[in-house]
Amino acid sequence: MRRFAGSCRFVYNKALALQKERYECGEKKLGYAELCKLLTEWRNSTETAWLGDAPVHPLQQALQDLERAYANFFAKRAGFPKFKKKGRHDSFRYPDPKQIKLDQTNSRIFLPKLGWLRYRNSRKVLGTVKNVTVSQSCGKWFVSIQTEREVEQPIPTGGAVGVDMGITRFATLSDGSFYAPLNSFKRHEARLRKAQQALSRKVKFSNNWKKAKARVQRIYSRIANARRDFLHKVSTAICKSHAIVCIEDLQVRNMSKSAAGTADAPGKNVRAKSGLNKSILDQGWYEFRRQLDYKLAWKGGRLIVVPPQNTSRTCPCCGYVSADNRPTQARFKCAECGFEGNADVVGAINILSRGMQMLRDEGQDTTDAAVGMRVGEPPVSARMACGSNCTGGRKQEPAETTAQGAIHAQRGRNLRPSGRGGCQRLPHTRISAGNSGAINRVD
């Protein structure tokens, strides 16, 4: 399998080198069909006869991958295709389902030139097999089976919710519940640093170097696994109970810019910012958003991405915008009307009302914040915003004339089912004391 993956990498790199060469000579880029013809030549030549040992379809798929890399580059979705490196994303793909036999009851799969292979089932394979990818990570081999099947149009359940992302709280929901962060990298940082130091002392490519390298890779894969598991759990929990999720359009790349500056103009707080950057990058916000997006789509729900400006500085009660509204990182106190609350929850409420506004701008009816829900079902989170949180404020009646937040507060109150005050908590929500004082938001 390692040899097959290596052959695919070789074909990909050879084709990429050829395309680059042709470009420099001013010649036209070769198409997929022409590359396939060349592949047959390579397989038949004495120099690279070993390519003939690998199955031909995965090799052609490598050429298709290159075609797609070029297409993504031309469409400005990605950078220029890079050469593949040994040991990084080693994989090969069988595109022809006719050549693949899947025997789920006995946990085995038949692949061309590999024969029957035993595997461990992570989940049931539903639908008809379309293609199979074999990949290697950290010394383990994985098989991914892509299938196709008809699914009924799902009916979303639950109401709308706003989600505010932060450092001390990974995600805060507009109903007041929140998820504590995992910080998988932080937990393993010391061990990783030691392993990396040990690696740097070894003679490159010696046996001890290989062992040390494997150790470093193992720690990295544990960090990645823990993070992935956490993100999947949180995103599933949120998607299960909400039809519409509003989230800020955070530019992680801008937020995690280095503070180091240049040699002429060194930046301030470099260490603090670098620590913050590590935390931001460790959280996997973008991956979280991606998961929310497709999981909501599976359930017939929708993800709404709202502009992030001032979400943590706007009063959800009267709409007053000011940095003075945030006396500390964790607390929110409106300088105008005295509305008080947790800053992250306030941020989430603002995100929610912005998302609702965007829906209204699209011409959707959000009267009960129940877009996409079955008619007749009680709106779940319309009571979201200020309705339950506003009680501590001086001014209980929000002004009708001001910004959207106020209108929302009003709406929330009207729709609150009688006899129920507090906010609904998710079943899997982890509640823990948020530590104030530390940096927990960057706007």
DSSP secondary structure code for residue 263 in this structure: S
Stretch of residues binding Zn ion (CB under 5 A), selected from 92-100, 232-240, 326-334, 348-356: 326-334
Neighbours of 334 (CB within 10 A): 23
List the one residue from 10, 12, 320, 332 that touches Zn ion (CB under 5 A).
Answer: 320
Instruction: Encode burial over 343-378: b for 16+ CB neighbours within 10 A, e otherwise.
Output: bbbbbbbbbbbbbbbbbeeeeeebebbbbbbeeeee
318 binds Zn ion (CB under 5 A): yes
304 binds Zn ion (CB under 5 A): no
Return the number of the residue (379 or 405) whose C-beta is nearest Zn ion.
Answer: 405
Q: What is the rounded distance in angstroms from the CA atom of residue 375 to the CA atom of residue 372?
A: 9
H or E segment at 350? helix 343-361
In 3D, which of 330, 311, 329, 331 has the Cα closest to residue 321?
311
Q: What is the DSSP string of 124-185?
A: ---SEEEEEEEEEETTEEEEEEEEE---------SEEEEEEE-SSSSEEETTS-EE----HH
| Cβ–Cβ under 8 Å, residues 156 and 370 | no
Minimum CB distance to Zn ion, residue 403 (Å): 10
332 binds Zn ion (CB under 5 A): no
390 binds Zn ion (CB under 5 A): no
Return the number of the residue (163 or 315) whose C-beta is nearest Zn ion.
Answer: 315
List the one residue from 62, 145, 171, 317 that touches Zn ion (CB under 5 A).
Answer: 317
Return the number of the residue (305 or 321) whose C-beta is nearest Zn ion.
Answer: 321
Return the number of the residue (168 or 325) whose C-beta is nearest Zn ion.
Answer: 325
Amino acid at 13: N
Minimum CB distance to Zn ion, residue 122 (Å): 50
Q: Which residues pair with 321 in a beta bridge?
A: 314
Stretch of residues binding Zn ion (CB under 5 A), selected from 192-200, 296-304, 317-325, 361-369: 317-325
Minimum CB distance to Zn ion, residue 247 (Å): 24
Residue whose entry in the numeric block shows the structure tokens 């530019």: 251
Residues with Cβ within 8 Å of residue 250, at least 6 apart in sequence: 165, 285, 308
Q: What is the rounded distance in angstroms from the CA atom of residue 38 to the CA atom of residue 44?
A: 10
Return the number of the residue (315 or 384) whose C-beta is nearest Zn ion.
Answer: 315
Stretch of residues binding Zn ion (CB under 5 A), selected from 36-44, 263-271, 308-316, 416-424: 308-316
Active site residues: 164, 248, 344
Stretch of residues binding Zn ion (CB under 5 A), selected from 3-11, 38-46, 95-103, 316-324: 316-324
Minimum CB distance to Zn ion, residue 320 (Å): 5
Minimum CB distance to Zn ion, residue 344 (Å): 17
List the one residue from 337, 386, 407, 409 that touches Zn ion (CB under 5 A).
Answer: 337
List the one residue from 163, 315, 346, 371 that touches Zn ion (CB under 5 A).
Answer: 315
339 binds Zn ion (CB under 5 A): yes
Minimum CB distance to Zn ion, residue 405 (Å): 8
Number of residues counted as binding Zn ion (CB under 5 A): 8
Residues with Cβ within 8 Å of residue 380, at least 6 apart in sequence: 158, 159, 241, 242, 370, 424
Q: What is the rounded distance in angstroms from the CA atom of residue 327 to the CA atom of residue 322?
A: 11
Residues with Cβ within 8 Å of residue 200, at least 6 apart in sequence: none
List the one residue from 146, 209, 310, 336 that touches Zn ion (CB under 5 A).
Answer: 336
List the one residue from 66, 160, 163, 334 that touches Zn ion (CB under 5 A).
Answer: 334
Residues forming contacts to Zn ion in the complex (CB under 5 A) are 315, 317-318, 320, 334, 336-337, 339
